[in-house]
Amino acid sequence: MAQTPQQPKPTTAQDHIDAMLHENRVIPPSDAFRARAKVSREDYERMYRQSLDDPDGFWSGVAGELHWMKDWDQVLDWQLPHAQWFVGGQTNVAYNALDRNVQRGYGDKRAIVWEGEDGEVRTYTYAELLREVCKAANALEGLGVVAGDRVTLYLPLIPEAAIAMLACARIGAAHSVVFGGFSVAALADRINNAQSKLLITADAGYRRGKPVTLKVNADEAAKLAPSLEKILVVKRTGTPVDWWTEGRDLWWHDVVDRQSDQHEAAALDSEQPLFLLYTSGSTGTPKGVVHTTGGYMVGTYLTTKTVFDLQDDDVYWCTADVGWVTGHSYSVYGPLLNAATVVMYEGAPNHPDWGRFWDIIQRHRVTILYTAPTAIRAFMQHGEEIPGRYDLSSLRLLGSVGEPINPEAWMWYWRVIGGERCPVVDTWWQTETGSIMLTTLPGAHPSKPGSAGVPMFGIEPTLMTHEGDELGPGDGGLLVIKRPWPSMLRTVYGDDERYRKSYWGEIGGVYFAGDGARRDSDGYYTIVGRVDDVLNVSGHRLGTMEIESALVSHPDVSEAAVVGRPDPVKGEAVVAFVLLQDGHSADPADLRRHVSREIGALARPDAIIIAEALPKTRSGKIMRRFLRQIAAGNEITGDTSTLEDPAVLDKLASTPAV
């Protein structure tokens, strides 16, 4: 019987706080889950205490479970704000993810079960994946890529994406994965910032049944990126590639397939950069967050093992694209370091219909699902009878990541997808943190819907005021981390000053996450959202300033201010207030196309308000607080007396969006 689709409630930060304050459900793990869990409550307490009291002993123990070509001399060298972990040690992440697991007897175990949007399925065992990565590493070396180089990847979610990442890791080149939904301009900026010599892309990838032509974008970006010497192209869809520059463009299958499948993994310094990943901040252009080898490996290994309670027979599926940090840490590195069987899916959750995820879970017998609240809310909107048609009984654990999950969505996920049987872990972390920072451990802690949970091992969070005063339970404040942790970012590529200022300078001496949070009397943290000008749209991080810069680069626009508006599915929607050049008229469709061209479709404004003036103080500062209220359709509250012309607010509030 068809159900009426449920409309999820809006999720503003305030709604979320209100819902949480009235949320007193506490859901303990079942006895059956607890009996088999890797980490019990007592284990957590003991390990957490040791991780803070004796960090050297704790982290040496974890790192010692992995292979090192040379042992470290010192666990941590901390010269605020610069940390080095496992100083003097040498290791290789790809070796630990592949060779080590083959040696431990996992050679015939499935490493990757990949499903294309078109239904194609490819499976790689650990032994096969090792051979493919060796071939790709030989190919990269043959192309002149050496340790320390940067390689940009602009790929669909296909096995070659993971293979290319691991091949870079194997030779010590840092990969910089650019999400396939980013535009030519965004890709070119990232190649230029990293000064990559090599770009790895594909002819196209499938999205909602249509090929998305990546090579065409790569060609355009190459014109703007003089550092590029070669483009290696994976044939994914067979879409004709009209542009082929002899001597520069190479087919992956021509270059990689003929290589030897033997390759000795390089012994790399612990602090050798493993990857750069660009992410948005509140100001300026996206930052190239730098992660290094040893600490990132140890952090993702430990968190994947404990948060997902990985057992040998699990089939683990993280739905994130490798273009985001979740795809790095929890689709590739963390699970492969733990010899897990990883499911990867190339396409959209609603292709050919909203049952696709459940169909994948049913066919591949997925046991652990890790996805984003925005997806859960979209599924909720389409009704529970869709997942109800599938056999989801293989699932035993669910995870959420990327944005605050409202208690309604949490309960729906737990009840409809998890059958009230599977614990839900809500994991808070960031591109910069490299691995999960706050969560519950599924066999150790009860869950509280909407609240991320407690600190992971070695993580010492607290809440502070802007002035650096610590706050007690019940108070809302700024989430900070008081000491370094192995998988933390090391710097912003090419801009250490920005690293110092953005993360360790905002409140002196502690890591400033940019999120507001609350802590209850059990020590559970509830994240209420960003406190800066960073938006979270469908779990994707966007800087308001980036979108503003894109808008003002349009010839019709003289000024723009962008804010977020609560959205029942996306979490936040993009609202742009735009002032036009004198004598120009507005073409909203063209403005949206322009933002797509400059950044990518993910940044396209949902609403555009053509304004005559913006609310500014006498000194010219735009008061975004008021714009947020107008965008949300809320009453204007707060002191408007500092505005140069308070009448602007009423005018804006009565201007319809286009």
CB nearer to ligand PRX: pick between 175 and 236: 175
**Shortest Å distance, C-beta 443 to ligand PRX:** 19
Contacts of 66 by beta carbon, 8 Å cutoff, 6+ apart? 91, 96, 100, 297, 298, 301, 337
The least distance separating ligand PRX from the CB of residue 622, rounded to whole angstroms, comes to 22
Q: Residue 202 or residue 492: which is nearer to ligand PRX going by CB?
A: 492
Three-state DSSP state, 415:
helix
Is 429 annotated as a binding-site member? yes
Give me 545's structure tokens. 């300033």
CA distance 399 to 422: 10
CB atoms within 10 A of CB 61: 14
Q: Write down the least CB distance from residue 326 to ligand PRX, Å.
A: 5
208: annotated binding-site residue?
yes
Rank residues 20 and 232 by Cβ distance to ligand PRX and give the closer one: 20
Q: How far is the CB of 212 from ligand PRX (least distance, A)?
A: 21
Query: Tokens 């969505």 map to which residue?
Result: 409
| For ligand PRX, the closer CB: 12 or 431 | 431
Write the CA distances from 351 to 228, 331, 343, 457, 493, integer angstroms: 35, 21, 17, 39, 37
Question: Which CB atom, from 206 or from 524, has the smaller least distance to ligand PRX?
Answer: 524
Helix (H, G, I), strand (E, B) or coil at 162: helix
Residue 102 DSSP label:
I
Known binder of ligand: residue 554?
yes
Runs of H (alpha helix) within 227-328: 252-255, 293-307, 325-327
Cβ-based nearer residue to ligand PRX, 327 or 355: 327
According to the annotation, is 625 in a ligand binding site? Answer: no
Length of the chain, in residues: 658
Q: Is residue 114 part of an annotated ligand binding site?
A: no
**How many Å apart are CA 300 and CA 306, to the nearest integer?**
10
Was 402 annotated as part of a binding site? yes
Phi and psi of 408, rounded to 5°?
A: -65, -45
Q: Which residue ranges make up the site for ligand PRX (CB under 6 A)? A: 279, 325-326, 401-404, 426-431, 452, 513-515, 527, 530, 536, 541
Nearer to ligand PRX, 100 or 518 (CB): 518
- 41 is known to lie in a ligand binding site: no
* 428 marked as binding residue: yes
Q: Which two tokens stand for residue 74?
A: 């010192």
477, β-bridge pairs? 517
Q: Is 325 annotated for ligand binding?
A: no
Q: Whole-number minimum distance, CB 373 to ligand PRX, in Å?
A: 8
What is the smallest separation between the CB atom of 529 and ligand PRX, expressed in angstroms? 6
Check the CA dihedral 87-90-96-102 and report its sign.
negative
The CB-of-325 to ligand PRX minimum distance in angstroms stands at: 5
Q: Are 233 and 215 in contact (CB under 8 A)?
A: yes
Q: How far is the CB of 592 from ligand PRX (least distance, A)?
A: 23
**Among residues 572, 566, 568, which one has the least CA distance to residue 603?**
572
Q: How far apart are CA 349 and CA 335, in angstroms?
A: 22
Residue 211 or residue 564: which is nearer to ligand PRX going by CB? Answer: 564
581 labelled binding-site residue: no
637 is in an annotated binding site: no
What's the DSSP call for residue 468? Answer: S
Give the nearest distance from C-beta 324 to ligand PRX in angstroms: 6
Q: Transcribe 529-570 into DSSP letters.
A: EESSSEEEETTEEEEHHHHHHHHHTSTTEEEEEEEEEEETTT
Q: Pull the structure tokens for residue 55.
A: 């960090």
In terms of phi and psi (left: phi > 0; alpha: psi -120 to 50; beta: otherwise), the region of 12 is beta
* 3-state SS class at 93: helix
Shortest gap between Cβ of 530 and ligand PRX (angstroms)? 5
Rounded CA-CA distance 634/627 in Å is: 10
* Token pair listed for 202: 């594909």
CB nearer to ligand PRX: give 272 or 435: 435
Closest CA to 132 of 90, 102, 92: 102
Give the nearer residue to ligand PRX in terms of CB position, either 259 or 451. 451
**Which residues fall in the annotated binding site?**
207-210, 326, 350, 402-404, 426-431, 515, 530, 538, 541, 552, 554, 557
Annotated binding site for Mg(2+): 552, 554, 557
Annotated binding-site ranges for ATP: 402-404, 426-431, 515, 530, 541
Q: Which residues are documented as binding site for CoA?
A: 207-210, 326, 350, 538
